Amino acid sequence: MSLASTVRLVLAKPHPVGKPFIWGGVAAALIGWLFLGSWLFWLGALFTGFCLYFFRDPERVVPTRHNAVVAPADGRVVSVAPAVPPTELGLGDAPRWRVAIFLSVLDVHVNRIPIEGRITRIAYRHGAFLNAALDKASDDNERNAMAIRTTDGRDLAVVQIAGLIARRIVCSVREGDRVTTGERFGIIRFGSRTDLYLPEGVRPLVSEGQTMIGGETVIAELPPLVAPR
């Protein structure tokens, strides 16, 4: 990545969810500068800088292939294995391939739609706040699960999972919404995990340890549907 590209990434405009935190840091810095001393000024300035970085929302170049399933989040793949989707989505109890992506506080936290389709179900479930890198976080942690039906009728799921210090999951789409590949649909504050459950019979193209770029990295390709004879 070039220096100019790195600078554009770091200085990308913040997601609207982060603006109250950013302005809160600015206010603290001003109060410290005018009334309470340098310690509050520097604390507010550092907090503002961190929030500008954490809530950055860079533009992404989405693949043009209609059958491409892209990463729903930035981060590191911590698990690629068959798993049953969350029961609240009603997608059945047959295991399908799940790709789990862990987001550290240094990653972009804006979530993106993996493939064009329609939102058929959104379900929020309260739970624990374990380390999101742990495999059991998928089952035990607080989460927001979303089912998407592709234009050719296949179902997949994206699950936003809270982490050790992530206490706020934001989802900006609703059941019935039509969505496009790479479209922003939410954000998780301060460290988290995002799981992608592929349609039945579709295998992932990524491996554990790979770094994902939300909205750009191709996780899988949907094969053509075989028409019944």
Residue 229, classified by CB atoms within 10 Å of its CB into exposed (0-12), middle (13-18) or buried (19+), is exposed
Q: Cα separations (Å) of 199 from 55, 81, 178, 209?
A: 31, 13, 18, 22
From first CA to last CA, the distance across the chain in angstroms is: 49
Active site residues: 192
Label the pairing between strands 75-83 and 211-212.
antiparallel
Q: Which pairs count as long-range contacts for 60-63, CB under 8 Å and 24+ apart, including other chains?
A: 60/112, 60/182, 60/213, 60/214, 60/215, 60/216, 61/216, 62/181, 62/182, 62/215, 62/216, 63/181, 63/216, 63/218
CB atoms < 10 A from the CB of 168, how many? 12
Strand partners, 46: none
